[in-house]
Amino acid sequence: MDMSSRLALWQQLAESCGLSTVQQGLQQVWGLLLLCLVCRVCFRFVSGSTVKHLASALFGMYALFLFFELHMLWVLLLAALCYLVLLLSRHSSSKGVFLSVVILGFLLIGELHLIDVVTWHKIRGSQMVVAMKAISLAFDLDRGTVNSLPSPAEFLGYVLFVGSVVFGPWISFSSYKNAAEGRKLSWSWLQSCSFSFLKSQICLLVSTCISPYLFSLFIPIEGDSFTQKWLHAYENAVSFHFSNYFVGHLSEGTSMLAGAGFTEEKDNIKWDMSVVKPLSVEMPRSMVLVVTSWNIPMSRWLKTYVFKNAMKLGTFPAILVTYTASALLHGLSFHLGAVLLSLGFITYVEHVLRQKLASIFSACILSRPCASDCSHQHKKDYWVMLLNLVFSLLAVFHLTYLGSMFDPGVDEQEVEEGYAAIHTIQRWSELNWASHWVVFACWVFYRLIQ
């Protein structure tokens, strides 16, 4: 294909896909953005904390109605159930564990198809955000981080906060209370919100209009059937990655637009909420950093409220418990569960192997970058950088394999209902279960040098 033909196809793709994608994206979220802005103004200019919390809850309910219509009642039911459990267990020191069990039971009822499958999949994200907020509040009450059970208005204002109830992210109760205090409107706030929205739209365009055609139109690469399978897998993975970045940057924007997502040092306020780090995923140092950069608030939530509580079982069991909790929050979906549990094994093996190699060679080849004053003798030697590059390429290989099942070209009905188990098995078998075999080989090598 010559350059003129390729330019003509690019132009056709921009007109048929690019403009319609941006238009549809804006049509879907403009109502939410307006609600977030009104909430921000309310927090700033309305006096009385109870009125602010009620306004936050009402705006959140209306946002849920805009996206889910009457199916929003399932989200409200979960929120009411959470507060009832907290109220009944207010004198207990195990509110976090008890509430977690109740929420798990509620989610399992929905996952076991007692509720319409398509409906449940649509509201799953909001259910997860409400569940994470309620569980974090319960554990904070147990630990004394939050002194007393919030009032019903305060609780609903928090879990239904309009800036995060639809697309996320999880924010702590203290972050919500800081938002409700109503910091002054500023150009830096507006610029941060606008930049996050711009990044979200760019990511949406890449996911929808560029990634699926990456190696057929933009970077044409020829090869045999084996090469084509892996190139197609990489296209699927990148498309899925950028759809996640779209949601992540959009959630940054909605949260900051509604008044959350800032850090304060003396009188200086920085609107610096970060939900995703695309460069740390697409050009990773390690799978450990990929996991923490994929959804920063959720990673923090899992570390604070799951991993640390499970560490009494040991490191590897704690990792498995953490990824299992993440899989259950995401729903009883075979493909998500398979990916998350595979990630648990991959990150553990990578971590212990690099830790052992760093000790043997006294080199900065850990999963996370070393501090400038670390005790390793070899920091920036060429062979150290080469070894880190090998692990980076290995991480890209794992990401390609894991993301291969998220095919944007499959039937829309299948996507809405969740990929079937056979879809996952078929995709990974086409790639010869390569990532799992590599992880097993790395684990065997680690055991041999231990």
Q: Which of 330, 376, 423, 436 is labelled catalytic?
A: 330
For 349-386, b where at least 16 C-beta lie within 10 A, e where not — what string? bbbbbbeebbeebebbbbbeeeeeeeebeeeeeeebee
Task: Note if 330 is an active site residue.
Answer: yes
Active site residues: 330
